[in-house]
């Protein structure tokens, strides 16, 4: 006896011959337009072939004919979820669960729809129910991991997602999100392994390639990061973040034009993305295109980092007009080095008739009192009521239309009296070797003490440590206690550092606040810079328009501090 048409259609459907199955379903429906199974299964083929509206219409018609079939409701929920209709999906899954409450997959699928609606508590309940029904159900562990991940419970998220990966190692979605959770927990090596698994499962997984590129970038493997970003762009050229991240990597590879092109493309896709604008500002400033760079840099206040620093002061931001006795608050919004560099603009604001209140870190207050009324240097101006206008310190270059031809370079603009001069006939050289570890690029910019050890046996040179944070411990670790004079333990602020610098003949340091302090004091200062230096040092020059007494010693290849120190030693031998 020949199988009936529906059985033949199902057999073809299960064998993957969708065209043959659809022909038979159509034949059944021509003879019986209300055949619920044929409508449902035709809808599944439409779903499988990406015709979502058609799929929903067919399965909804099947449900209307026979609403007692949990499978109909479940598959309609899947169509709705794939179409972005999550609320409708939740309702359909709910009807399926009412009919078959003991089916784990239905609770898990509804949890996925609830997660897409940010309804995490309800989603967790469904995950718990699914796992109570089937403790080895990988999708339920995955969804529970997503609930924890979005709820900030990183440790629980990792447990659930690792369980999902263990149960279903071929699930690229689970591998990817396990990588996301591990990356958020700073387990970058484990995260990279998950991303690589996700990519092996699905080489077209653009997000996994982007995230893997981010890990490679943060580890300094810029060439490998570039390859991942370019692969992601080939897969999906419409992700602005990938173009922006590629721009960051090209900048680190000294391809400024290429980086700028990436940021331009990223802004075409996401014109209001503040992070991209700020990255673009860095490139423009490093290229000397200051007018554009200052404008782009104003986007910083909309970035994640700076948004938390922004305050509603209730007064307008100053645009550069005559102040005529008005009180203006200038806020030092960034690090010590930035503040020291741009304090040079305070006298220019005073020249516009402004009564300046300068808000800065206490460590810089004593130095700042030499530039404004000493009584108007404060650590917190939030309660002051006599402010007429304000300006962030790093907005002043743009306000004064600073370009390479008019950088305020009236050096010195910071001064200090030498507190305890080093009694020696030798050349007195201040030395620092690293910056703050909180700075994202510190691993790239900091020389480290070990590579500098070859300087300290030079005849006729006495070295003085300017390394405030952790300096004594570093010197002890490398057996240099007493070889390099270190009085930093008694320093409480930068005015005391400045007092020591004033008694030196030369300062040598990586790109840290010490460089800015010595430069602002007009001291001879040598900066040891990475292959790609911060924007303010620009490219392909060994001097700086910001500090006339500064010399730049750049790496000739990425990571080559040995070459930098060799050149410093050669120059130090003839310095006078």
Q: Which of 118, 111, 180 shows the shortest CA–CA distance to 141? A: 111
How confident is the model over 207-257, as pLDDT tens digits?
999 999 999 999 989 999 999 999 999 999 999 999 999 999 999 999 999
Residue 284 has pLDDT above 70, yes or no: yes
How confident is the model over 156-208, as pLDDT tens digits?
999 999 999 999 999 999 999 999 999 999 999 999 999 999 999 999 999 99
Q: What is the pLDDT of residue 82?
A: 95
Sign of CA pseudo-dihedral 304, 306, 311, 313: negative
Are β-strands 525-529 and 506-510 bridged in parallel, bridged antiparallel, or unpaired? parallel
Residue 2 has pLDDT above 60, yes or no: no
Residue 313 has pLDDT above 90, yes or no: no
* Residue that is written with structure tokens 């699914």 in the block: 130
SS3 category, 503: coil
How confident is the model over 50-72, as pLDDT tens digits?
999 999 999 999 999 999 999 99
Whole-angstrom distance, CA of residue 532 vs CA of residue 511: 12
Contact (Cβ atoms closer than 8 angstroms) between residue 197 and residue 175? yes
- Chain-centroid distance of CA 131 in Å reads 36
Whole-angstrom distance, CA of residue 460 vs CA of residue 510: 23
Burial class of residue 4 (count of CB atoms within 10 Å of its CB; 0-12, 13-18, 19+): exposed
Q: Model's pTM, two decimal places? A: 0.86
Residue 419 has pLDDT above 70, yes or no: no
DSSP H or E run through 114: helix 104-116
- Rg of the Cα trace of the chain? 32
- Least confident residue range of 54-63, 121-130, 440-449: 440-449
Tokens of 479: 């057996």
Q: Please report, rounded to a whole number, the percentage of residues in the chain having pLDDT higher than 90.
A: 87
Whole-angstrom distance, CA of residue 322 vs CA of residue 328: 11
Whole-angstrom distance, CA of residue 294 vs CA of residue 429: 35
* Residue that is written with structure tokens 């003949």 in the block: 505
Whole-angstrom distance, CA of residue 472 vs CA of residue 480: 9
* pLDDT band at residue 1 using 50, 70 and 90 as cut-offs: very low
With both helix axes pointing from N to C terminus, report the angle between 104-116 and 86-99 in degrees, rounded to the nearest 10.
Answer: 160
**Average model confidence (pLDDT) for the chain?**
94
* pLDDT band at residue 436 using 50, 70 and 90 as cut-offs: confident
C-alpha count within 13 angstroms, C-beta hemisphere, residue 322: 1
Q: What is the pLDDT of residue 576?
A: 63
Give φ, ψ of 290 to 5 degrees: -65, -40
How confident is the model over 103-116, as pLDDT tens digits?
999 999 999 999 99
Contact (Cβ atoms closer than 8 angstroms) between residue 300 and residue 278? yes
Contact (Cβ atoms closer than 8 angstroms) between residue 458 and residue 569? yes
């Amino acid at each position: 006896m020949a199988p009936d048409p529906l059985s033949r259609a199902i057999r073809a459907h299960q064998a993957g011959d969708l065209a043959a199955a659809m022909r038979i379903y159509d034949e059944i429906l021509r003879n019986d337009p209300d055949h619920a199974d044929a409508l449902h299964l035709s809808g599944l083929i439409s779903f499988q072939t990406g015709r979502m509206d058609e799929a929903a219409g067919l399965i909804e018609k099947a449900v209307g004919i026979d609403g007692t079939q949990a499978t109909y409701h479940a598959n309609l929920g899947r169509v709705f979820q794939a179409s972005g209709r999550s609320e409708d999906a939740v309702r359909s899954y709910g009807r399926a669960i009412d009919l078959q409450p003991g089916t784990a997959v239905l609770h898990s699928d509804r949890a996925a729809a609830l997660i897409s609606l940010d309804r995490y508590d309800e989603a967790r309940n469904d995950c718990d129910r699914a796992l109570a029904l089937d403790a080895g159900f990988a999708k339920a562990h995955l969804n529970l991991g997503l609930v924890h991940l979005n709820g900030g419970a990183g440790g629980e998220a990792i447990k659930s997602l690792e369980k999902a990966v263990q149960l279903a190692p071929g699930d690229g979605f689970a591998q990817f999100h396990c990588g996301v959770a591990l990356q958020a927990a700073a387990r970058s090596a484990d995260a990279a392994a998950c991303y690589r698994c996700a990519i092996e499962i699905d080489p077209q997984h653009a997000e996994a390639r982007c995230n893997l590129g981010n890990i490679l970038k943060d580890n300094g493997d810029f060439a490998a990061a570039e390859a991942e970003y370019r692969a992601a762009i080939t897969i999906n050229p419409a992700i602005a973040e990938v173009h922006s991240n590629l721009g960051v990597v090209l900048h680190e590879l000294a391809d400024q034009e290429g980086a700028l092109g990436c940021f331009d493309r990223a802004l075409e896709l996401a014109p209001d993305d503040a992070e991209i604008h700020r990255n673009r500002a860095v490139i423009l400033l490093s290229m000397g295109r200051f007018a554009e760079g200052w404008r782009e840099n104003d986007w910083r206040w909309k970035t994640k980092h700076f948004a938390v620093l922004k305050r509603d002061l209730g007064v307008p931001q100053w645009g550069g007009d005559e102040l005529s006795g008005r009180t203006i608050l200038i806020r030092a919004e960034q690090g010590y080095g930035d503040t020291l560099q741009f304090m040079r603009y305070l006298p220019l604001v005073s020249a516009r008739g402004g009564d300046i209140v300068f808000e800065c870190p206490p460590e810089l207050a004593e130095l700042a009192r030499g530039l404004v009324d000493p009584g108007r240097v404060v650590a917190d101006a939030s309660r002051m009521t006599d402010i007429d206008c304000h300006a962030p310190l790093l907005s002043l270059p743009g306000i004064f239309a600073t370009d390479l031809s008019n950088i305020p370079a009236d050096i010195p603009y910071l001064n200090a009296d030498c507190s305890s001069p080093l009694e020696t006939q030798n050349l007195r050289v201040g030395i620092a070797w690293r910056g703050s570890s909180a700075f994202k690029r510190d691993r790239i910019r900091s020389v480290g003490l070990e590579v500098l050890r070859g300087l300290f046996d030079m005849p006729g040179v006495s070295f003085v440590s300017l390394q405030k944070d952790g300096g004594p411990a570093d010197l002890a670790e490398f057996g240099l206690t007493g070889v390099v004079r270190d009085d930093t333990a008694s320093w409480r602020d930068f005015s005391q550092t400045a007092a020591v610098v004033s008694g030196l003949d030369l300062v040598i340091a990586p790109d840290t606040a010490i460089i800015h302090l010595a430069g602002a004091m007009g001291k001879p200062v040598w900066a040891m810079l990475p292959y790609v230096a911060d924007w303010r040092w620009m490219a392909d020059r060994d001097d700086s328009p910001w500090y006339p007494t500064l010399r730049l010693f750049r790496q000739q290849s990425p990571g080559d501090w040995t070459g930098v120190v060799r050149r410093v030693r050669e120059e130090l031998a003839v310095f006078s």
